[in-house]
Structure formats: C-alpha cells, structure tokens
Amino acid sequence: MTREFSESEIRYLKKLADFKDIFLYDARHFDSSRARKSHDIKLILSIELFIEIFCQNDFADTDYSIIQNESREFESADKWINQIGIETILKGLTYIIWSNKIEEGYFLKKIKDKLVYKYLSRLSNILHERANGPVMVNGNKVFFIPDVIEKTAPTYINK
C-alpha cells in the first residue's frame, strides 16, 4: 500500500531534498586526512542534521527487499533511480543511514559516489512535479498523476 504524506511531512521531505546540493559541493572538498578543517566539519554536521530530520519524521523504512530485487531489473542503477517513488527513496536512504551506524563513514562514502545526491535529486523532482501539476511536454499540456503503485514510474496523461 502506498504511503500518504501529510503537508508537514512533504515540507520535511523538501528539506531533505535540499541537502543534495550541500552534499554534492561539500563532498568534493572533504579530506578525511584533515577532518578538523571547518569545511569538513560543516559536511559532518550537515550529515548529522540530515539524519536527525529523517529520523524525527519517522521516514525510516527497513524493508530493503525492493532495493535488492527491483534494481536488478534495470540495465543501470541510474535508470532504476530515475523511476522510483518516494517510498523506495526513503528505503534507500534508510539503508544508507543504518549502514553508517555499522560502518562509520558509509554515509560519506555514499555522498562521494553520488548515490545520496541521485536519491535526493529524484525526491526533489517528484516533489516538484506533484507541487506544480500540469507541465508542457512537446507542446502538450500534461498532468502529473501520483503513483498508485509505488514501483511504477509517474504516469502522465495528455489533456
């Protein structure tokens, strides 16, 4: 069953999505050999704040089976990420957060390899589509219809 998100949850999902650019920029300049520089501390604090917002809003979902199974159906991880819904994004982020508890630095590793950025970019795109309704595609007005089944890509209809 697809989870419904309240307006408050949507606001916090947007806050999480906004971290994408912070993580992308700061990860480029992070150097673990000099982890006391103010820039590096900023990234570490950003990660901690992201995790705090994520957990305080009960976004965690530990059913990782969809990540392990469904992603194999696509020729690349990027193609899979570009069609997943919010629930799957939250599962992926939960996996990264919990793996970081076991393997220190895992979250940072996933920032550096841009997986976190890809999840957050997809989240940002979904939220933007849902907030803005109709869009123009090849000169046609197209309306976004939220996913009925989470594993399907967003559906568009021409009007």
Q: Is 92 part of any domain?
A: yes
Note whether residue 148 is domain-resident: no
- Residue 76 identity (one-letter amino acid): S
Q: pLDDT value at position 34? A: 53
- Quick check: is 39 in a domain? yes
Residue 37 domain boundaries: 7-132
Residue 2 covered by a domain: no
SS3 annotation, the chain: CCCCCCHHHHHHHHHHHCHHHHHHHHHHHCCHHHCCCHHHHHHHHHHHHHHHHHHHCCCCCCCCHHHHHHHHHCCCHHHHHCCCCHHHHHHHHHHHHHHHHHCCCHHHHHHHCCHHHHHHHHHHHHHHHHHHCCEEECCEEEEEECCCCCCCCCEEEEC
Residue 139 lies in a domain: no
Residue 145 domain-assigned? no
User: Would you say residue 1 lies in a domain?
Assistant: no
Domain count, the chain: 1
Opening angle at CA 62, ends 32 and 100, nearest 5: 10
pLDDT at 38: 60
The reply to whether 117 falls in a domain is yes
Length of the chain: 159
pLDDT tens string, the chain, 159 residues long: the values are: 577 889 999 999 999 999 999 888 766 666 555 555 666 788 889 999 999 999 999 999 999 888 888 877 888 889 999 999 999 999 999 999 999 999 999 999 999 899 999 999 999 999 999 888 654 444 554 444 444 333 334 444 443
